[in-house]
Structure 1
Amino acid sequence: MAVLLRYWSTVPRLLKCVVAKPWPSCSLAKACCRSNPMLLRFTKMHGLGNDFMVLDLVSQHAHILPKHAKQWGDRHTGIGFDQLLLVEAPNNPDVDFRYRIFNSDGSEVEQCGNGARCFARFVLDKRLTAKKQIRVETKSGIIELDIRSDGQISVDMGPPRFVPEEIPFEAAEQATRYNVEVDGQNIELAAVSMGNPHAVLRVDDINNAPVHELGPKIEHHPRFPARVNVGFLHVVDRQRAQLRVWERGAGETQACGTGACAAAVAAISQGWMDSPLLIDLPGGRLSIEWAGPGHSVMMTGPAVRVYEGQVRL
């Protein structure tokens, strides 16, 4: 017994935490976790300047909470990003991965197009898959990602949804355009879901678009019960447009993939533009294709790895 006690005194504290039982009530384990915080590997990436922190939760294990996204997302005291992307093992055996997204304010969202391209590049670069075409489950459904030979990544975003209840948006009936009152002024906009809610406003001058004035007011408008991403679209010609997006929970970003898809769908639906088309955002250009109602929206663009790091949980 004395030998055993002498041996136990030499066992590292972390190992003692592991063998001590029961885990939830073990004060030693709790003290151990406080003194030995978990280090998680992460990758910083961006798609046209829309930047992400990407965590592999397939080969490393952690329980990520909204507070972590908010803490790490701070550009002054954290890592800084628009969204946190989690790569997880799937719940559905028919898909390759599960894809979760948190905004920098800690809110979990349904979809992110630029993030989807970075997700595809990440799982290939990290050798989590050898496939060039992968299926991924998101909070809003399954999407398909195609890593092309030229390095660009195409995402099948699925068909857009226009039914107000599915966006969600409060309206008496479905329409191509709606009037929403903001500060006593009627604002005309299109409402569409690309797995997440979008409002699209047409503007004459992209540089002077009231993104920071109207963006937050429309984002929090009571007719959008889940809040909304707000796109300001300037149509240049039948094949090219400019776009700025106020993202729900993130503010204006350099690019928004689902926002570009929603803007393209709105422009094609209302006869302003034809598919395929190019959307120029502050961070760069996306190619969008949509054949009309019932068809999927295809988005193509780049994904870039910036650096690798570790963060304490």
Structure 2
Amino acid sequence: MKFTKMHGLGNDFIVIDGFKEDISIIEKKAKILCDRHFGIGADGILILLPSDIADLKMRIINSDGSEATMCGNGIRCFALYAYTRKIVNKKKMEIETLAGIIKPEIIVNKDIVEAVKVDMGHYSLLKEDIPMQGNTKEEAVDFDLIVDNSSFKATAVSMGNPHCIIFTEDVESIQLEGLGPKIENHPYFPKRTNVEFVEVISDSQLKMKVWERGAGITLACGTGACASAVAAHKKGLVKDKVTVKLPGGDLFIEIMEDKKVFMTGPAKEVFSGELELSYL
């Protein structure tokens, strides 16, 4: 099986062309494929597939074998892969995901790809969209979240996938490895959730660390950066244009009046290879 390794701000992926490769074993073998000692190593797997409603379809398999609805860093890598291999012969494309049609745009300067800007669609704060337990018609803003006898004020946002955002004065002091899985699997979130701890640096900058649903601690999360910017904007902490600083680098987020969100950031191809299937 041929594959390509890519990353967006250190959030790394195995990219597989489903037009050419047999993908039937991917979900069952995702754990070993993503294992950094016994496999290729990645936070997740991106699979290119045909679509009846868009230019391509993207399936996202997390490192634990579960399927994700959407991935912000992944969609940038996916779009770059499709563009550089001329699978899609245009800079603006439409990609089908479980979260709907996502629209990335390749930003090129003098024949060099500088970044990928993505129309991430519309956000929602409604509990029914996240989803969350409780009154599903109310917004999940500043609700009380109890974890290990500690109480947090949290805000939940859907970016096509669920996010639980907690603001803190010092994000570096957060024990994410302990809190992340407990919040991910909290009873409030019937489909689990991504977890972001966020520090406000200024009205145009946030610092964020993330525990991703199905992947654990990663260096970046595109949908998480969008959700964190939305939560901060909703609370009046930032303006509508925000740089989110992540361990792997920066993402630029724009929040529009119609609740649409745009994300701009890099995507990089690292290497390509061929996996011996008998090894699996």
TM-score for both structures, normalised by structure 1: 0.84
- Separation (CA, whole Å) in 1 of partners of 2:117 and 2:61: 22
Structure with the greater alpha carbon radius of gyration: 1
Does the residue aligned with 1:298 lie in a helix, a strand or coil? Answer: strand
2:116 is equivalent to residue 153 of structure 1? yes
2:129 is equivalent to residue 170 of structure 1? no
- Separation (CA, whole Å) in 1 of partners of 2:229 and 2:38: 36
Asked if the contact 2:164–2:196 (Cα under 8 Å) also holds between the matched residues in 1, the reply is yes
Does the residue aligned with 1:262 lie in a helix, a strand or coil? Answer: helix
Output the amino acid matched with 1:43: T
**2:196 aligns with one of 207, 231, 242:** 231
Percent of pairs with identical residues: 45
Q: What displacement does 1:311 show? A: 1.4
Which structure shows the bigger proportion of residues in helix conformation?
1
Q: What displacement does 1:100 show? A: 0.6
Q: State the partner residue of 1:58.
A: 19
Q: What displacement does 1:263 show? A: 0.2
Q: What displacement does 1:171 show? A: 2.5
Output the amino acid matched with 1:297: V
- Separation (CA, whole Å) in 1 of partners of 2:52 and 2:5: 26
Asked if the contact 2:168–2:198 (Cα under 8 Å) also holds between the matched residues in 1, the reply is yes
Q: State the partner residue of 1:86.
A: 47
1:117-266 mapped onto 2 (5 Å cutoff): 117-150=76-109, 151-172=114-135, 173-266=138-231
- Separation (CA, whole Å) in 2 of partners of 1:199 and 1:91: 33
Output the amino acid matched with 2:219: Q
Q: What displacement does 1:290 show? A: 0.3
Asked if the contact 2:197–2:208 (Cα under 8 Å) also holds between the matched residues in 1, the reply is yes
- Separation (CA, whole Å) in 2 of partners of 1:64 and 1:130: 29
Q: State the partner residue of 1:286.
A: 251
- Separation (CA, whole Å) in 1 of partners of 2:251 and 2:202: 16
Output the amino acid matched with 1:238: D
What count of residue pairs does the alignment treat as equivalent? 271
TM-score for both structures, normalised by structure 2: 0.94
Could you give the per-residue CA deviations for residues 134-174 of structure 1, whole angstroms, max 9, x where no partner exists?
Answer: 00000111100100124210011101012111101112332
- Separation (CA, whole Å) in 2 of partners of 1:218 and 1:91: 37
- Separation (CA, whole Å) in 2 of partners of 1:175 and 1:52: 31
Range 205-214 or range 252-261, more displaced: 205-214
Does the residue aligned with 1:114 lie in a helix, a strand or coil? Answer: helix
- Separation (CA, whole Å) in 1 of partners of 2:84 and 2:107: 14
2:233 is equivalent to residue 268 of structure 1? yes
Asked if the contact 2:33–2:41 (Cα under 8 Å) also holds between the matched residues in 1, the reply is yes
* Stretches (4+) displaced over 6 A: none
Q: What displacement does 1:186 show? A: 2.0
Output the amino acid matched with 1:306: V
- C-alpha distance 306-183 of structure 1, shift in aligned 2 (>3 A): same
Output the amino acid matched with 2:234: S
Does the residue aligned with 2:78 lie in a helix, a strand or coil? Answer: helix
User: Over aligned residues, Cα RMSD in angstroms?
Assistant: 1.2
Asked if the contact 2:233–2:240 (Cα under 8 Å) also holds between the matched residues in 1, the reply is yes
Does the residue aligned with 2:16 lie in a helix, a strand or coil? Answer: strand
Q: What displacement does 1:49 show? A: 0.3
Does the residue aligned with 2:122 lie in a helix, a strand or coil? Answer: coil
Does the residue aligned with 2:79 lie in a helix, a strand or coil? Answer: helix
Asked if the contact 2:140–2:157 (Cα under 8 Å) also holds between the matched residues in 1, the reply is no
Range 118-127 or range 182-191, more displaced: 182-191
Q: What displacement does 1:213 show? A: 2.2
Gaps of 5+ in 2: none
Does the residue aligned with 1:278 lie in a helix, a strand or coil? Answer: strand
- C-alpha distance 253-133 of structure 1, shift in aligned 2 (>3 A): same
Output the amino acid matched with 1:165: E
